[in-house]
Amino acid sequence: MANVIIFTDRAPKTMLLPGTGVGASSYNYPAGSYKIASVVRNLGLEALVVNNCFSLTFKGVQEIINNNKDDLLWVGIGSTLMFVRSNMFDEYRTQWHNSNESTIDLDPIFGGSGGSADSRTFSNKSAATEMVWSTGEIERLSKYCEDLNAPLLIGGSWVTYMRNGNFGTIHKNTHLIKGYAEQYVKEFTLEKIKDPTSSPPYIVSNSNYDSQEFKESSILYSKHDLISPENWLPLEIARGCAFNCAYCNFDHRNSRDSYKNTTALREELLRNYEEYGVTSYMLVDDLYNDSKTKIRDLYDNVWSKLPFDVEWVGYMRLDMFWADPESIEIVKASGARMGSFGIETLHNKAGAKVGKGLGKERILETLHALKEKWGDEVLVASNFIAGLPYEDRESIQETIDWSANTDLLFSSQWSPLWITPPEHYNIVTEESLTNLAKDPDKWEIKWISPGNWINSAGLTFEEVDKMCVEARAKMPDDMKMIRSIFGFFDYADLRSVGMTHRQIVDKRYGRLDPKVLYNINRKIQQRVEQRLEYWLQVKV
């Protein structure tokens, strides 16, 4: 019987165009919940991670808990990726509470034709971003767990970024863990074994995680995670980011944390290869190429020392490649297949003022160098922000047009500059605010109405939001089709069910037979259904 059950999921594929509403599920593995499960597993206990929980009704959730209630210590929710922007929550929650089935078909609810909002822009005013399992669902789950003497522990960014007061109505059996959860989960699990009546405080806050312990740590999978050799698993190499971009709300920015011990990393990769045949990874760190030493050390002591051809995808920065051109080849030889780059702007002043100061000329120079050395073997996924300080409409439009037509980029995703409005300050924590939100005057940004700012070039949030919708319409067809590949999580999702790198490149250039994509999409749905079927009956 499972000692711990953790429910988690990630935002469905709501980037579909209206009329293409298929494939709302994601397939890959969210790192955080598996890391917490590893803490439990390392104590010699059983942890079951249910990682497509959006597809369960309350009836399904009860079945999974009931099947494993005898030795249950606590139940968890990993909230980090459980936010969705949609106008269909009422429909979802009605089914969640009332259905006589164990599962919900997400396609009509969060898929494109179900009326869900465009997840990448804010133009649909009726849509909101919410935790899919909100207070009503958590309350019901919490009461259910209370009857089994199992506290409900919620961790992840929903908890970390929201002010404590917003949880005032949550049931007393619910406990919140803000920040890093590893150490507390270990302490509490041991305590609960000793004293079954023990209960955590309402809120626990951990902003530190022992650096040495992190460097030696890894994710420990179990047979109940249903891993197959095709899977692309998450891998943590470092925590923290040395940069401090003005628009970024990553709470560990501006902190250079050292990366994991290479022996521990190599052992993690070897274990996953030997036990599950896995050779592919999503690096979930905020930045892979933040140091010359790190890139070389990881190549010398991890990637090149494996008895299999490893492939991986991760976040990268162009300026680091510009400063260290040799690293372009090293990253390719290390097994990279896609880098997601926040290019943000080609406007020199805007870039320099927000922490992306490479400038247009050197950005293009570096992209050409990447194309020359990587060809289509390592793909460049790019993100842009419309509305950065000092950038005007003409400059943004020029970059949108360029990004839609250049072969230097595999994909381009445009988002309007989001600044938390002052009206939200009573909801969110200080750590969740970007530097721009904390001090908009410094970047000459003014609030002109609730939720709408204006920059010094005269552009408002509402205008750039519309520009982003129009930018999407300009992108090549392959970026508008089902299963659009905007970044490396999308890439890994598709590779995890058997789509090849070549087919993904062919999709980009409009050469892929649509049947391939249709079949891959069906395969994701089938795999998710198979997983749910397994989790609904397994007694761990």
Query: CA 401 to CA 118: how far, in whole Å?
Result: 21
Print the SS3 string covering 464-509: HHHHHHHHHHHCCHHHCCCCCCCCHHHHHHHHCCCCCHHHHHHHHC
Phi, psi of 293 (to 5 degrees): -65, -45
* CA 13 distance to own-chain centroid: 12
Closer Cβ to ligand SF4, 320 or 330, answer by number: 320
How far is residue 38's CA from residue 56's CA, in Å, rounded to a whole number? 23
In the structure encoding, which two tokens stand for residue 15, read together?
Answer: 């980037």
In this structure, is the dihedral angle defined by the CA atoms of residues 96, 102, 106 and 107, taken in order, positive or negative?
Answer: negative
Residue number, 73 or 358, with CB nearest to ligand SF4:
358
Q: Which is nearer to ligand SF4, 245 or 499 (CB)?
A: 245
Report the interhelical angle of 89-98 vs 135-146 (nearest 10°).
20
> Smallest distance from the beta carbon of 431 to ligand SF4, in angstroms?
13
**What is the chain's Cα-based Rg?**
23
CB of 355 to ligand SF4, least distance (A): 6
The 3-state DSSP class for residue 536 equals helix
Distance of CA 152 to the CA centre of its chain: 23
Cβ nearer to ligand SF4, comparing 225 with 286: 286
In three-state form (DSSP H/G/I as H, E/B as E, the rest C), the secondary structure along 312-371 is: EEEEECHHHHHHCCHHHHHHHHCCEEEEEEEEECCCHHHHHHHCCCCCHHHHHHHHHHHH
Burial of 407 (0-12, 13-18, 19+ CB in 10 A): exposed
Burial of 113 by CB count in 10 Å (0-12 exposed, 13-18 middle, 19+ buried)?
middle
Residue with smaller CB distance to ligand SF4, 325 or 357: 357
150 versus 358: smaller Cβ distance to ligand SF4: 358
Containing 520, the helix (H) or strand (E) segment is helix 514-537
Cβ-based nearer residue to ligand SF4, 137 or 286: 286
The whole-angstrom separation of Cα 316 and Cα 537 is 41
CB of 252 to ligand SF4, least distance (A): 8
CB 376 to ligand SF4: min, Å: 25
With beta carbons less than 8 A apart as the criterion, state whether 102 and 536 touch. Answer: yes
Please give the Cα distance from 75 to 171 (Å, whole number). Answer: 14
**Spatial distance between the Cα atoms of 104 and 98, rounded to a whole number of angstroms:** 11
Q: How far is the CB of 161 from ligand SF4 (least distance, A)?
A: 15
Question: Is the distance from CB of 272 to CB of 310 less than 8 angstroms?
Answer: no
**Footprint of ligand SF4 (CB under 6 A):** 241, 243-245, 248, 250, 253, 286-287, 342, 355
Q: What is the nearest approach in angstroms of ligand SF4 to the Cβ of residue 254?
A: 7
Instruction: From residue 109, give the alpha-carbon distance in Å to each of 27, 119, 400.
Output: 17, 14, 31
Minimum separation from the CB atom of position 356 to ligand SF4 (A): 8
Tell the smallest beta-carbon distance from residue 460 to ligand SF4 (Å).
23
Nearer to ligand SF4, 16 or 436 (CB): 436
* Tokens linked to 326: 């040799």
Q: Which is nearer to ligand SF4, 335 or 355 (CB)?
A: 355
Report in angstroms how near the CB of residue 33 gets to ligand SF4 at its nearest: 21
Measure the CA–CA gap between 259 and 56, rounded to whole angstroms: 37
What contacts 511, CB < 8 A, 6 or more positions away?
Answer: none
| Closer of 209 and 276 to ligand SF4 (Cβ) | 209
Please state the closest distance from residue 382 (CB atom) to ligand SF4, in A.
13
Q: Which is nearer to ligand SF4, 292 or 501 (CB)?
A: 292
Q: How far is the CB of 134 from ligand SF4 (least distance, A)?
A: 28
By C-alpha distance, which of 237, 53, 227 is closest to 154?
Answer: 53
d(C-alpha 74, C-alpha 4), whole Å: 5
Distance in Å, CB of 248 to ligand SF4, minimum: 3
Tokens of 500: 């090849």
Closest to ligand SF4 by CB, 245 or 350: 245
The least distance separating ligand SF4 from the CB of residue 238, rounded to whole angstroms, comes to 11
Nearer to ligand SF4, 123 or 254 (CB): 254
Please say which residue, 23 or 351, places its beta carbon nearer to ligand SF4: 351
SS3 helix, strand, coil % of the chain, rounded to 5? 45, 15, 40
- How near is the Cβ of 229 to ligand SF4 at its closest, in Å? 31
